[in-house]
Structure 1
Amino acid sequence: MLFSRPIAASGAALLAATGLLLGSCSSPARQPESAAAPAASDTTGTATNPAAPANSPLQVVAEFTAPQMVGVAVEPGGKIFACFPRWDYNPVYPIAEVGPNNTLKPYPDANWCMWNDSVKNEPLKHWICPQTVQTDKQGMLWVLDPAAPGLKFTVPGGPKLVKTDPKNGQVLLTVAFPESVAPRKSYLNDVRIDLQHNYAYLTESGLGALVVTDLKTLKSRRLLALHPSMKAEKGLVIKAAGHPMLDLQGKPAQFNVDGIALSTDNTYLYYCPLTGHKLYRIKTAALRDAALTDAQLARQVEIVGEIPATDGLEIDAANNVYLTSFKNSALMRRTPAGKIETLVQDDRLQWPDTYSFTANALYVATSAIHKTASWNKGVGQPGARFSIFKMAVPR
C-alpha cells in the first residue's frame, strides 16, 4: 500500500481546495461518497478510460471517481470493506462497507468516521487518516490508522491499530502506538496479523522501519530503522503505466518500505520498499525476540530476489508471492523458484495497490496514484478511477 508523503509537500493549496485541515479534518459540506457518479461499464474505452480486454479475468466489484481509495479487505461472509485515507480528499467515510452499485456505509459507524475539532480530544476513537484494512484468518477486520492527515505529521495520540468484528462492527481491541514507535514524521502503512503467536507486524513508510506488536501486552517495538532494506533505492525513477513518478520539484519519488506479506505458516515476513526492485524476508521468530539487538536482527534479513517495483504484497499456501505491478498495470507473482509470472495485464489496473484473498477469489484495489496532481506538475489527470476488482484465485 502506497505511502505518498510528497502529496503533503506539494503545497497547502491542494489541501485547502479539498477542505482538508492538517491538524483536525472537518468533514466537508459535500459528500463525495454519495455525490460521485458510478463509473459506467466500459467495453469500448475512451481516451482516458481504457477498455476491458476481451479475455480479462477481472470483474469490476466497485468503482469511484472520488474520494481516493487505497485498500480493500473481504471477510469470509463476503462483506467488502474499503479504505479512503485523508490525503488530497477529506472523505466522509474513510472506512466503509462497500455495497451494491458503489454504495458506501460508514464502518463501524458514522461517529468513528468523523474527525473534526469537536472530537479532537478522542484520537483513539475516530479514524484520522486510516491507511489499511486487513482481515485475519478468523475473519476479524483490522484497521491501521497512521493518523497523519494530508501525509504531513501524526496527530499526537492518534496512531493506532484497531481490531473489529465485521459481523456487528464491534471494536474488540485498540493498540495505541507511542511516539517512540510512531514518530511525528512516521506513516504506518500496512499490517499482517499472526494469530499463532498473537503478534502484528507492520511497515512504517514515512521514515522506514518495521514495527512489531505483542497483541497480548499491546507493547510495540520499532525495528531495523537504519537498515538498507527499509529505505527507497536512491536514484531509481519508478514509472506507472509509462508515467515517470516525479514530484512537483522534478525529483524522483522515494518511497520506503511498503508492501508486506506473512507466510502461511507464519515463519517468514516478506517486505519491500516501493521504490526498489528487491524482495526481502526475515524470520518472524527473530522479530519477536526482544533480546536481539538491531545489529543482530540485521544479520537475519535475507534478499529473496529481484521483483518489479510493487506496492502491495500477498502470499499463498504454495509460497508464491503476489505483486501489484503499477509499472505494467498488472498482477504478478514470484514463484519459490524465482520465476516472475504475469497473472493478468489490464490497463484498467490504474496503480494496483493492495490484495485481499478469500477462499475462491482474489480482490485488488486500484488507487490511481500516478494520476494525482502531486505527480503531474500540480494538475490531476482525467479519467482516474479508484476500483475494486476480483478474479478467480490463480492455480
Structure 2
Amino acid sequence: MRFTRLLFPRAIALAAAAGLLLSSCSSPSGSSDVSGTAAVADSTKAAGAGPAANSPLQVVAEFTDPQMVGVAVAPGGKVFACFPRWDYNPVYPIAEVGPNSTLKPYPNASWCVWNDSVKSEPLKHWICPQTVFADKSGMVWVLDPASPGLKFTVPGGPKLVKTDPKTNEVLLTIPFPESVAPRKSYLNDVRIDLQNNYAYLTESGLGALVVVDLKTLKSRRLLDKHPSTKAVKGLVIKAEGHPMIDAQGKPAQFNADGIALSTDNAYLYYCPLTGHTLYRIKTAALRDAALSPEQLAQQVETVGEIPASDGLEIDQANNVYLTSFEQSALLRRTPEGKIETVAKDARLQWPDTYSFAADGNLYVANSAIHKTPNWNKGVGQPRQPFRIFKMALPK
C-alpha cells in the first residue's frame, strides 16, 4: 500500500525528539525475538465489533504497535510482516512472524538498524520498507522506498532486495536512481515475473509504474504522465464511513498502488488507490524500451469499475482480488466483471496487502490507515490491533 508524501504529526514529534530519519531499530533489550501482542482492551472495545458471524478469517498474529502494512508467506510456510517507518520507529521493519505473534529481525538484526552509525550504507539497511513479497520460487523480496515519514527519499536509499528465507541471506540488491525514484516518490508494491526475469512496481508518491530488468538490474520509470497512475482529483474516499481528509481539509490523493500479475505473466493489473478504476497493460509493452511514452500509453486498457482498493492479487482462475477498505471487506472481480464478496468483517480495518500461500490459504494484513492522526485532525483514533488473517482460498 500504501501512499502520499505526508509527515504525520507523531512522526514530526519523533523526528524532533529522536531523529526519525536516522533512527535505530535495534531492540532495547538486545533480544532477537520480540512480542507484538498485548492489545489494549479498551482500545479494542472502542474500535468496534469482533469477528462477524461465520467469518472465514482466522487470526495468525496481532500487534498493538507499530503499524503494520504488509504480509508475505513463503512457499515453505514462513510468514513475514512489514512495518514501515511512518509514525513510529519499529524495532524490526521487516520481521519473520513466529508463534504467539513474536517477531524475529529479517534477514538479520543489522539490516534493521538505521541510525547515524550506518547512514553511509543506505543500501544495506531497511530505511522505510513498504512491501514484502514472496515469489513462486520461494524467494522473498523487500521493496524499500526509503522515505521515512512519507516525506522525502533518503539519497541512495530506494531499493529492491531479494532474499532467501531458507538461509536468511541477501542475494541481490537493486538500487534505484533518482530518475526512477525521485525525492518525492514512494515505491509501493512489487510483483516478480520469473518467466521473463522482470520486476514490476507501482510508485504512489507521484504516480508511475517502474519496471526492472533483473538480468541487467536496469530500471525505467513509465506512465508517469498517464491518468491511470494518478489519483482521481476531488474524489473523497472513505474507510468505515470516515472521509479521508487531512488536517488542511484536503482529500487523500493516493496514486498508483495496488498491483497484480496475471497467472501467465502476460498482463499487469494496477489501480490508483484514490479511484474506482482497474487498469491493465501487457507486460511485453512494459518490457519494450523502444516504445515511446505515447505508444506505451496506447497499450493501457481499462478493465472496469471497482470499489476503491489498496492491495490486489490474482488467482489461478484469473479472479482479481481486491482489499476494500471502504467496506471492511475482501472482494474479487471475476473475469466476467462480477464483483463478489469473499469476506466481510469489522476487524478488516483498512485491509491492505494480500499473500497467496502454497497451501491454498489467502493471507491479508490490515493497516488501519484511517485511524492515524493525519486523517483525524492530528489525533489518532482508538483501533483494534494490527492483524494478519488467513482463510481458505474460496472456490
Question: Do they superpose with TM above 0.5?
Answer: yes
Quote the offset at 1:2 in angstroms.
1.2
Separation in structure 2 between the aligned mates of residue 54 and residue 48 of structure 1, nearest angstrom: 18
Separation in structure 2 between the aligned mates of residue 300 and residue 230 of structure 1, nearest angstrom: 14
Quote the offset at 1:48 in angstroms.
1.9
Could you report, residue by residue, the CA deviation over 1:55-104 in whole angstroms, capped at 9, with x for unpaired residues? 00000000111000000000111100000000000001000000011100
How do residues 178-327 of structure 1 correspond to structure 2 at under 5 angstroms?
178-327=177-326
* Alignment RMSD: 1.9
- Kindly indicate whether residue 342 of structure 2 is the aligned counterpart of residue 343 of structure 1: yes
Quote the offset at 1:105 in angstroms.
0.1
SS at match of 1:150: helix
Could you report, residue by residue, the CA deviation over 1:18-47 in whole angstroms, capped at 9, with x for unpaired residues? 73523x2234886898475434899xx723
Contact 2:231 2:255 in 1 (8 A): yes
Contact 2:11 2:87 in 1 (8 A): no
Structure 2: gaps spanning 5 or more residues: none
Q: 1:20 to 1:311 in 2, by over 3 A?
A: farther
Q: 1:107 to 1:12 in 2, by over 3 A?
A: closer
Q: 1:275 to 1:67 in 2, by over 3 A?
A: same
Contact 1:20 1:26 in 2 (8 A): no
Contact 1:355 1:362 in 2 (8 A): yes
Which residue identity does 2:23 align to in structure 1? Answer: C
Q: 1:142 to 1:367 in 2, by over 3 A?
A: same
Contact 2:66 2:89 in 1 (8 A): yes
Separation in structure 2 between the aligned mates of residue 386 and residue 127 of structure 1, nearest angstrom: 21
Quote the offset at 1:118 in angstroms.
0.2
SS at match of 1:47: helix
Which residue identity does 2:306 align to in structure 1? Answer: I
Separation in structure 2 between the aligned mates of residue 112 and residue 10 of structure 1, nearest angstrom: 27
How do residues 360-375 of structure 1 correspond to structure 2 at under 5 angstroms?
360-375=360-375
Quote the offset at 1:385 in angstroms.
1.9
Q: 1:30 to 1:170 in 2, by over 3 A?
A: closer
Q: 1:94 to 1:247 in 2, by over 3 A?
A: same
How do residues 26-175 of structure 1 correspond to structure 2 at under 5 angstroms?
26-27=24-25, 34=34, 36-39=36-39, 46-175=45-174
Quote the offset at 1:4 in angstroms.
3.8
Consecutive aligned runs of 4 or more in structure 1 exceeding 4 Å deviation = 9-12, 28-33
Separation in structure 2 between the aligned mates of residue 89 and residue 350 of structure 1, nearest angstrom: 19
SS at match of 1:189: strand
Separation in structure 1 between the aligned mates of residue 61 and residue 332 of structure 2, nearest angstrom: 24
Contact 1:331 1:343 in 2 (8 A): yes
Separation in structure 1 between the aligned mates of residue 150 and residue 366 of structure 2, nearest angstrom: 19
SS at match of 2:85: coil
Quote the offset at 1:184 in angstroms.
0.6
TM-score normalised to the size of structure 1?
0.95
Look up the match of 1:330. 329
Which residue identity does 1:368 align to in structure 2? Answer: A
Q: 1:386 to 1:155 in 2, by over 3 A?
A: same
Contact 1:350 1:385 in 2 (8 A): no
Separation in structure 2 between the aligned mates of residue 13 and residue 297 of structure 1, nearest angstrom: 40
Q: 1:35 to 1:104 in 2, by over 3 A?
A: closer
Look up the match of 2:393. 393
Could you report, residue by residue, the CA deviation over 1:159-191 in whole angstroms, capped at 9, with x for unpaired residues? 000000001111111111011110111110000
Could you report, residue by residue, the CA deviation over 1:351-371 in whole angstroms, capped at 9, with x for unpaired residues? 000000013100000000000
Contact 1:20 1:88 in 2 (8 A): no
Contact 1:28 1:90 in 2 (8 A): no
Q: 1:271 to 1:20 in 2, by over 3 A?
A: farther
Could you report, residue by residue, the CA deviation over 1:275-309 in whole angstroms, capped at 9, with x for unpaired residues? 00000000000000000011000000000000000
Q: How many residues align?
A: 391
Look up the match of 1:25. 23
Contact 2:352 2:366 in 1 (8 A): yes
Quote the offset at 1:15 in angstroms.
3.4
Could you report, residue by residue, the CA deviation over 1:217-256 in whole angstroms, capped at 9, with x for unpaired residues? 0000000100001100011000001110011111100000
Quote the offset at 1:9 in angstroms.
5.9
Contact 2:68 2:386 in 1 (8 A): yes
Q: 1:319 to 1:262 in 2, by over 3 A?
A: same
Separation in structure 2 between the aligned mates of residue 166 and residue 333 of structure 1, nearest angstrom: 30
